[in-house]
Amino acid sequence: MHIKYFLISFLFFSIFTYSLHAQTISVESPDKNIKVEISVVKGNAYYQVYQQKEEFIGQSPLGVLSSAGDFTKGLKIVGSKKNKIQESYQLNRSKVGKVNYKANEVNCILTNTGNDTINVIFRVTNTDVTFSYLIPKSKKNNENCTIEKEITGFKLPSKSTTFITPQAPPLSGWEKTKPSYEEEYTREEPIGTKSQYGLGFTFPALFHLENKGWMLISETGINGNYVGTRLSDASTDGIYTVTFPQEGENNHDGPITATSSLPMQTSWKTITLGKTLKPIVESTASTDVVKPLIKTSKIFDAGRASWSWIVWQDESCNYNDQKTFIDLASDMKCEFILIDALWDVNIGKEKMAELVNYAKSKNVGVLLWYNSNGNWNTAPQTPKNRMNTSEARRSEMKWLQEIGVKGLKIDFFGGDKQATMKLYHNILVDAAEFGLNINFHGATLPRGWERMYPNYMTSEAVLASENLVFQQAFSDKYPSTATIYPFTRNAVASMDFGPVFLNKRLHRESNKGTIRKTTDAFEMATAVVFFSAVQHWGLTPENLKEKPSYLFDYLKAVPTVWDETVFIDGYPGKYCVIARRKNTKWYVAAINGEDKPKNISVNLPMLKGKNVSVINDGEGQESKFSTKKLDNASFNLELSANGGTVLFMP
Ligand code: CA
């Protein structure tokens, strides 16, 4: 043997024997600030995430247990492919309008002891790490595959703290409608703290890594092909493990596992990280790794809606009150009115057609509420049994299209099993065909749907404004809660909170109901701080007579979808300042989550040299209005206790 070949084969042999102990592949972000290392040690696969050499995720397990092979142990890396991904895409119902997506991808090919193959795909941008498993077709495995569980973990640095919501038990809550992502966020609890129900936590999960920075972990890319997953409680060494749905979800119907034809790809897990909260507020990870699923030339309009139910409640779902709120929508230049539960009984289908025509004559589109039932909860509100089967749904949607309804709010789903994820998908697909836009309530976290479906608008999946009406305790805490959402739930998707209230007490009668704790300027700011492609406002007709007209001039013009979103400043639970742009016009909104006045000096380069209108705190809850030219970029926000400010280009 020639000496050179001998040396090469010796070298290969050395690498091969070494690899039995540890094999490592790494991939960096385009700017090299983030690095992911994927390794196999003694047959177990792991990954680690670093940002500027600081460890954000420690050695954490990778793997799935499936019918096409056990990929939780006995693994080795048999190859890898690296790719540079560069893609520009547009969104028209999101917090940004155009995304230039640049990522470095590594596809690690692993085999188990049975010689079954799995690919682990990591993509790293300058702010996000996303990853997904792909089980390919093979001679041995060529039909369906069932994934029993993931062992994917996230090991947090030991002193990290959390802003995270607990998973609720199945068939719990009002009329057995939970779990529905309507739980309170922790506020900087240590990572070892047990979840409220001992069932782990839901996505997205925000972690504060002391002085290292911040990290948001979530999930995207589910279209009925997978289950919605969540996180376990953390183990003693700080590892949160991906967990599948509970058996009792969807009223015990359907498996908790995920089944699909091969090749089978799992959801993507997303990790957004940085020294500050800026990458988290601005991240597009949840849309970057998904693709539009429906080809259509139809444009589904986003916009603002009047909504009687939120303050006037069930009794207002009658013909006359809805007519009043159509007039309110028209006066406010809203695109829509949302007519909530019980319209089928209190108005009826025939009268509804009349009401839709009346709305049309006022240039207002009608959105109608439906119960998603099915047997997965006992919520009595009707109409029900119209959305749960293909036949009923399609015939209902045909009628809705005929009378000119523009969209649906569908409520009370039954958890995150694949059966329920398929229902969301099927509703969106059918609704797109019948020209209806979609808003899900009592529902799961939307996972990339703003890009996947042309008619998807928004989801609740948060403790929303109904709780301001139901409980004084929620109302008392609301200013602070509102400053958590932009860094958590609303950072990954459209959020139907239903903001903007001007009543002192949230009731039809002015001397009843919960007492609002926020200032009027705070309420105006939430129209920008909260992003939802369709915003349902808490306004009532008397507000227009009682409050200054500049508030309504602002609301008549404020967009609900944006071309750009910029984090200015903030701290979850304390305050939040966000700038958003639509076309050439910037809106900068600030809310104070604390019950004490606050002065915050912010840098607003986008408003430098511009004439702006300012709505900020006046006496008590009242606001004041001014216009000014910003000579330089720095601006001092003077926020009252539970107050706010909005600056905007007229
Ligand atoms: Ca709800």
* Backbone φ, ψ for residue 38 (5° rounding): -110, 130
Helix (H) or strand (E) holding 103: strand 98-111
Residue 276 has pLDDT above 70, yes or no: yes
Report the predicted TM-score, pTM, of the whole model to 2 decimal places: 0.96
Q: Do domains 22-288 and 303-548 have the same CATH topology?
A: no
Buried b (16+ CB within 10 A) or exposed e, 16-54: eeeeeeebebebebeeebbbbbbbbeeebbbbbbbbeee
CA of 260 relative to ligand 1 center, distance in Å: 31
CA of 460 relative to ligand 1 center, distance in Å: 7
Within 8 A by CB and 6+ apart from 445, the residues are 181, 202, 203, 204, 218, 219, 228, 459, 461, 489, 492, 493
d(C-alpha 434, C-alpha 411), whole Å: 19
Identity (one letter) of the amino acid at 584? T
CA of 245 relative to ligand 1 center, distance in Å: 20
Residue 18 has pLDDT above 70, yes or no: no
Helix (H) or strand (E) holding 366: strand 365-371
d(C-alpha 338, C-alpha 307), whole Å: 5
Quote the pLDDT of residue 9.
Answer: 44
Residue 403 has pLDDT above 80, yes or no: yes
DSSP annotation string for 534-601: EEE----HHHHHHS-HHHHHHHHH--SS-SEEEEEEEETTTEEEEEEEETTEEEEEEEE-SSS-EEEE
* Tens of pLDDT, residues 566-622: 999 999 999 999 999 999 999 999 999 999 999 999 999 999 999 999 999 999 999
Closest among 440, 491, 435 to 301, alpha carbons compared: 435
In this structure, are residues 110 and 577 in contact, taking their beta carbons and an 8 Å threshold? Answer: no
Please report, for the chain, the start and end positions of each structural domain, with discontinuous segments joined by +.
22-288, 303-548
CA of 496 relative to ligand 1 center, distance in Å: 10
Within 8 A by CB and 6+ apart from 121, the residues are 105, 106, 107, 108, 131, 132, 133, 134
Residue 261 has pLDDT above 70, yes or no: yes
CA of 477 relative to ligand 1 center, distance in Å: 18
CA of 517 relative to ligand 1 center, distance in Å: 21
CA of 440 relative to ligand 1 center, distance in Å: 10
Residue 10 has pLDDT above 90, yes or no: no
Closest among 437, 132, 138, 135 to 289, alpha carbons compared: 132
Closest among 52, 48, 32 to 40, alpha carbons compared: 48
Q: Where does 20-102 have alpha helices with state H? A: none
Quote the pLDDT of residue 142.
Answer: 87
Within 8 A by CB and 6+ apart from 625, the residues are 548, 550, 613, 614, 615
CA of 129 relative to ligand 1 center, distance in Å: 31
Quote the pLDDT of residue 485.
Answer: 98
In this structure, are residues 441 and 410 in contact, taking their beta carbons and an 8 Å threshold? Answer: yes
Sheet strands side by side (includes 585-592): 564-571, 575-582, 585-592, 644-648, 611-617, 623-629
CA of 176 relative to ligand 1 center, distance in Å: 12
Closest among 461, 468, 482 to 179, alpha carbons compared: 461
Quote the pLDDT of residue 7.
Answer: 44
Quote the pLDDT of residue 5.
Answer: 46
Residue 109 has pLDDT above 70, yes or no: yes
* Tens of pLDDT, residues 21-33: 689 999 999 999 9
Quote the pLDDT of residue 37.
Answer: 98
Sign, Cα dihedral of 539, 544, 550, 552: positive
Residue 4 has pLDDT above 50, yes or no: no
d(C-alpha 175, C-alpha 504), whole Å: 30
Buried b (16+ CB within 10 A) or exposed e, 482-496: bbbbbbbbbbbbbbb
CA of 377 relative to ligand 1 center, distance in Å: 13
383 cis-preceded (ω within 30 degrees of 0): yes
- Name the band, by pLDDT with cuts 50, 70 and 90, for residue 11: very low
Query: What size, in residues, is the chain?
Result: 650
Residue 373 has pLDDT above 90, yes or no: no
Query: What is residue 432's three-state secondary structure?
Result: helix
Report DSSP state, residue 173. S
* Tens of pLDDT, residues 320-335: 999 999 999 999 999 9
Say if domain 22-288 classifies as CATH 3.40.367.20: no
Higher pLDDT pick, 142 / 122 = 122
Mean pLDDT on 448-477: 98
CA of 421 relative to ligand 1 center, distance in Å: 18
d(C-alpha 558, C-alpha 302), whole Å: 12
Tell the CATH superfamily of the 303-548 domain: Aldolase class I (3.20.20.70)
Residue 421 has pLDDT above 60, yes or no: yes
Quote the pLDDT of residue 21.
Answer: 61
In this structure, are residues 482 and 591 in contact, taking their beta carbons and an 8 Å threshold? Answer: yes
Q: Which CB contacts under 8 angstroms, 24+ apart, belong to 585-588?
A: 585/648, 585/649, 586/610, 586/648, 586/649, 587/528, 587/558, 587/559, 587/646, 587/647, 587/648, 587/649, 588/528, 588/646, 588/647, 588/648
CA of 313 relative to ligand 1 center, distance in Å: 13
**Tokens representing residue 370 in the block:** 């439906």
CA of 497 relative to ligand 1 center, distance in Å: 9
- Ligand 1 (ion): residues with CB under 5 Å are 442
- Half-sphere exposure of residue 62, counting CA atoms within 13 Å on the CB side? 33
**Tokens representing residue 202 in the block:** 């839901």
Rounded to whole angstroms, what are the CA distances from 194 to 36, 415, 560?
Answer: 29, 21, 37
In this structure, are residues 21 and 8 in contact, taking their beta carbons and an 8 Å threshold? Answer: no
521, burial (CB in 10 Å: exposed 0-12, middle 13-18, buried 19+):
buried
CA of 177 relative to ligand 1 center, distance in Å: 9
CA of 595 relative to ligand 1 center, distance in Å: 27
Mean pLDDT on 438-459: 98
Residue 465 has pLDDT above 70, yes or no: yes
Report DSSP state, residue 92. S
Quote the pLDDT of residue 414.
Answer: 85
- For the beta carbon of residue 232, count every other beta carbon within 10 angstroms: 17
Residue 187 has pLDDT above 70, yes or no: yes
* Tens of pLDDT, residues 78-105: 999 999 999 999 999 999 999 999 999 9
* Tens of pLDDT, residues 484-538: 999 999 999 999 999 999 999 999 999 999 999 999 999 999 999 999 999 999 9
d(C-alpha 333, C-alpha 582), whole Å: 17
User: What mean pLDDT, rounded, does the chain reach?
Assistant: 96
